[in-house]
Amino acid sequence: MPVINRIAADAPELTEIRRDLHAHPELGFEEHRTSAIVAEKLESWGIKVTRGIATTGVVGSLKVGNSDRAIGIRADMDALPMSEWNNFEHASKNPGKMHACGHDGHTTMLLGAAKYLAETKNFDGTIHFIFQPAEEGGGGGRVMVEEGLFDRFPCDFVFGLHNDGTLPVGTMTAVSGGVCAASDTFKITITGRGGHAAGPHRSIDPVVIGSHIVIALQSVVSRRVNPLDSAVLSITQFHAGSASNIIPETAWLNGTVRTLLPDVQDEMEPLMRQVIENTAAAHGAVAEFEYKRGYPPVVNSLEATERAAKAAAKIVGVEHVLRERRPGMGGEDFSYMAQKVPGCFVRVGQMHTSRENKGAHHPLYEFNDEILPLGASLWATLVEQELPRE
């Protein structure tokens, strides 16, 4: 694969950076160590750094020549609140925190491109390296945009990437339109009447009613949403009770809804409310339903996608750039940036051949260091392509 030679030569250094970040994962808006490393490295390469956007976000700006064209490239820096099961040397040293989505790799790839571009300066224009906090639920991308990201650092286009363990190394995607789902969350509080477990007739059991609600909600997607549209409704938490002989007063259910189309997203809350409130009422309980809209869907602009595809083809060959692919139901807060500036979110295949592939958010997940030079080369190539010297 024609990765940029100079970046290939930096592969050992990039691997070292990535493994150091992996060993020291930090949660959203707490990426103090990570963002300090990012800022110091950018400065050491002569890149102008702005710190503290969205608390721990960092933007590195590199201007070469006189052109007023500018592009932004974004990487996420945060880890997940989970314990790592890997036992290699660079496994997480922070209990209960893990880079299980490869954001350590995304950050390192962008650093690799920044180093190369700062050294070679073979472009004319401005590149903003955007390192964002809190992709995993905190909406760091939204906060950066709200804090004036693109007013302070105007960009003609913005790009981002995610590693993808279902695609082989040497494969990239550049697909226009919707590529990631809207990601909403909800909380259900069922209030019954607590009492002795031996006298259920004197209680209203929120565990049984919660179970009915879990089952009843399954038919929202299967019976109420158009089968040609996509929706996911997952109940991920069910909390109630404190002892084997007590019927609890209250039960709490939490979960997530994923949709690809705005009108389907609009439908879900009222449909769910109908099922939840009426199922509870049918059993003499009261259910409170809170629905919170999360990340909007990521929609890739046609123009930005063509540009990303062209750069990707230079790295992996045109036959290894997927131009059509079903969207994923995962959420991604790159969406907030792509709503402001034409954007493209690409995926970079990272399938391991030497170990089992565990999906993102699995405690045995591992970023594949082989793809660090590929991602860094993609960004560097994209910059040289989009900001050409006259």
Nearer to Ni ion, 77 or 101 (CB): 101
207 neighbors 241 (Cβ within 8 angstroms): yes
Minimum CB–partner distance for residue 181 and Ni ion (Å): 13
Nearer to Ni ion, 101 or 110 (CB): 101
User: Could you tell me how many residues of this chain bind Ni ion (CB under 5 A)?
Assistant: 1
CA distance 283 to 295: 34
Nearer to Ni ion, 90 or 99 (CB): 99
Q: Give the residue among 260, 347, 338 at the shortest CA–CA distance from 297.
A: 260
Nearer to Ni ion, 101 or 161 (CB): 101
101 is a site residue for Ni ion (CB under 5 A): yes
316 is a site residue for Ni ion (CB under 5 A): no
Minimum CB–partner distance for residue 134 and Ni ion (Å): 11
Q: What kind and span of H or E run contains 254?
A: strand 250-259
Nearer to Ni ion, 250 or 300 (CB): 300
374 neighbors 169 (Cβ within 8 angstroms): yes
Residues in the chain: 390
Minimum CB–partner distance for residue 101 and Ni ion (Å): 3
The stretch near Ni ion (CB under 5 A) out of 96-104, 287-295, 317-325, 370-378 is: 96-104
Sign of CA dihedral 185, 300, 166, 83: negative
Q: Over the range 309-344, which residues count as b (16 or more CB within 10 Å of their CB) and which as e?
A: bbbbbbbbeeebbbeeeebbbbbbbbbbbbeebbbb
134 is a site residue for Ni ion (CB under 5 A): no
The stretch near Ni ion (CB under 5 A) out of 21-29, 93-101, 316-324, 371-379 is: 93-101
**Contact characters 51-70, Ni ion, x per CB under 5 A:** --------------------
Which amino acid does the sequence have at 143?
A: V
Nearer to Ni ion, 101 or 275 (CB): 101
Nearer to Ni ion, 83 or 120 (CB): 83
Nearer to Ni ion, 179 or 272 (CB): 179
Minimum CB–partner distance for residue 376 and Ni ion (Å): 18
Report the Cα 57 to chain-centroid distance in Å.
15
| Structure-block tokens of residue 224 | 């109420």
Residues 6+ apart with CB under 8 A from 312: 172, 174, 321, 346, 378
The stretch near Ni ion (CB under 5 A) out of 98-106, 151-159, 189-197, 273-281 is: 98-106
Minimum CB–partner distance for residue 76 and Ni ion (Å): 6
Question: In sequence order, what E strands does 27-107 have?
Answer: 48-53, 57-64, 70-76
Minimum CB–partner distance for residue 360 and Ni ion (Å): 6
The stretch near Ni ion (CB under 5 A) out of 101-109, 177-185, 191-199, 284-292 is: 101-109
Q: What kind and span of H or E run contains 277?
A: helix 262-282
CA distance 280 to 212: 8
The stretch near Ni ion (CB under 5 A) out of 95-103, 182-190, 369-377, 380-388 is: 95-103
The stretch near Ni ion (CB under 5 A) out of 31-39, 94-102, 231-239, 347-355 is: 94-102
CA distance 354 to 43: 36
Nearer to Ni ion, 77 or 231 (CB): 77
Q: Which residues bind Ni ion (CB under 5 A)?
A: 101
